[in-house]
Amino acid sequence: MVKEKINNEQYKAYLIDLDGTMYMGTDEIDGAKQFIDYLNVKGIPHLYVTNNSTKTPEQVTEKLREMHIDAKPEEVVTSALATADYISEQSQGISIYVRWEWFKYCVNRSGSCH
């Protein structure tokens, strides 16, 4: 694999994918923590994103903390949260019936379910 040196200072913020970038299953990806430490030292804003819709931001941050990465739930965007925000934007005045409790929380959080 060819590794390229990236000029990180050319970016103002980062969206960091988790599975396969920060960790693979239960294993940390080499250099992941060091990269986050670099962003924190430089004061570069970043969010963690995941397409795992079954985990809450709190569960995701717990996994990151196990890797000694100080993450906050508000720094995590899951596919369930993004979907709920999209539904909220697109469903003004429409009734929504949600059965899955975690997704119900996401939809309520975005203000589209009453």
Task: Dump pLDDT digits (tens) for 61-107.
Answer: 999 999 999 999 999 999 888 877 787 777 776 776 667 676 666 66
What's the mean pLDDT in 54-67? 92
Query: Model-level pTM?
Result: 0.77
The DSSP line for 72-88 is: -GGGEEEHHHHHHHHHH
Q: What is the pLDDT of residue 41?
A: 93
Q: What is the pLDDT of residue 7?
A: 65
Q: Which domains does the chain have, with CATH numbers?
A: 8-110 (3.40.50.1000)
Q: What is the 3-state secondary structure (H, E, C) of 28-50?
A: ECCCHHHHHHHHHHHCCCEEEEE
Contact, 25 vs 60, CB < 8 A?
no
Closest CA to 75 of 26, 22, 8: 22
